Amino acid sequence: MAKPKRLCIAFVVFGDVVVLELVGPLEAFTVARTAPLLSVGDPYSTRIVSEEGGPFVTRSGLEITTEPLSALDGIEIDTMIVIGGGGHDLPVVSSS
């Protein structure tokens, strides 16, 4: 039986990221990847990217290292999860 293709999951971070928005979904793929009952091996490859790559600071001040978005050139991405942007805590309608 052929070994199944690993699925590439890209997490794209930008703007005002709340750390749980990144690590929650990332941990879900990590748990799935390391589950003892999973008989298909290592089904996921996860990548964390930002526009320029390098250190990225979350809203809480946690610094994470990212790859540049260009590192995904030529790679087949199965799922892209975009995290950040901020502004979601702002009122939709101004009081003025």
pLDDT 10s digit of each residue in the chain, 96 long? Answer: 566 788 999 999 988 899 999 999 999 988 887 776 665 667 889 999 999 999 999 999 999 999 999 999 999 999 999 998 765 555 555 565
The amino acid occupying position 17 is V
Q: What is the DSSP string of 57-72?
A: E-TTS-EEEEEEGGGG
Within 1-96, residue ranges assigned H as helices are: 19-34
pTM assigned to the model? 0.79
Tokens of 40: 């298909």
Q: Give the end-to-end CA distance of the chain in Å, rounded to a whole number.
A: 65
Q: Which single residue is written with the structure tokens 């309608």?
A: 93
